[in-house]
Amino acid sequence: METLSFDSGARTAFAERLALLYKEAGNPPLKRVSEAVVRLQRVDERGRPVRVSAQRISDWRRAKNVPAQFPALAAVLHVLIPQARRARPVPVSAGLYDLVQWQRLWERALADPTTGERPAPPAADEQPAAEVPGAPGGVCPYRGLAAYRRQDAGWFFGRDRSTRALVAQLDATGDTGGLVMLVGASGAGKSSLLNAGLVPALRSGAPDAGAGPPRRVLQLVPGADPLRELTRRVPQLAPVVGAVREAAASLPA
C-alpha cells in the first residue's frame, strides 16, 4: 500500500500516477479516451452527463490542474484501467487499478498547498451548474460524491442512528469475538459512515460509542496482498495468518 504526504507534492504525484496508468493502458489517443467517456453515459451528482475533453485529460497528466470533481476522473479511470489490466493483469505499481486509492490521491492533490498555481477553470462541458458557497474559514462542508473523512466528522450529520447501530453490533462481539460487516450499494455512504461517524465515536468515547473508554481503531486498505497488510498492521495475527497460508498451500490444486 502506498501512502502520500503533502510534502511530496500531491499534485505532481497525482499527475505522475495518471501518466503511468495512461502508459500502461497503451497511450491511447486523448480524443479516443474522451469519446469513450461519453459512451459510458455517466452522470454527476446533479444528474448532468459527465464530459471530459482531450485537453482536460492532457492537463491532468501534466499537473497543470487537478479534476474539479471526482466523477470526471472516475469516468476516465473506468476507460483506462480495463485497458491497462488487459495488458498487465497485475499492476506494475500497487493500487494502480484501485479506485479507492485513486480517490484518496485525488483528494490530496485537490487540497495540495505546495503549488502556487491555481487550477485552470473547468472547460465549458465541465462547468458546474452553480458554485457551492464555502463555509467560514474557507472550508466547504459539501463533498459532492467524495466520501467524508475522519477530519470531516464535524460536518457529518443525519446518521446518528446508523452510528449507534454499528457501535451496538461491535459491543455485542466484545466478549465472543466475531466480524461486523457494513454492506450496501455503491455510493450509499458506507465509507462516510465508517470514517466520519463510527471511527470518531469510538475514538472519542462519545455517547454514541457506548459505555466503554475510547477505543483504538486500525484502518487498512487490503491492497494486492490483504493478509500481508493485515499482519503488518496487527503483528499478533502473524501466527494465525501463517497457519492459514500453510493450510491453503497444502490443498490440492
Q: What is the pLDDT of residues 56-103, one digit of tens each?
A: 999 999 888 899 888 899 999 999 999 999 999 999 998 899 989 999
- Angle (deg, nearest 10), helices 99-110 and 10-24: 140
- The predicted pLDDT at position 139 comes to 56
pLDDT at 210: 52
Predicted pLDDT at 184: 82
Sequence spans of domains, the chain: 6-113, 150-209, 220-253
pLDDT score, position 205: 58
pTM of the model: 0.46
Task: Give the residue ranges of the chain where pLDDT is below 70.
Answer: 1-8, 112-145, 205-214, 253
229: nearest Cα among 15, 53, 238, 125: 238
DSSP tag of 236: G
Cα(198)–Cα(163) distance, rounded to whole angstroms?
6
pLDDT at 56: 93
pLDDT at 177: 76
Residue 43: strand pairing partners = 49
How much is the pLDDT for 79?
93
Distance of CA 129 to the CA centre of its chain: 25
In this predicted structure, what is the pLDDT of residue 211? 54
Name which of 129, 139, 146, 186 is nearest 66 in CA terms.
Answer: 146
Residues across the chain:
253
Q: Report the pLDDT value the prediction gives residue 132, as an integer from 0 to 100.
A: 40
pLDDT on residue 245: 85
Give me 216's grid cell: 483504538
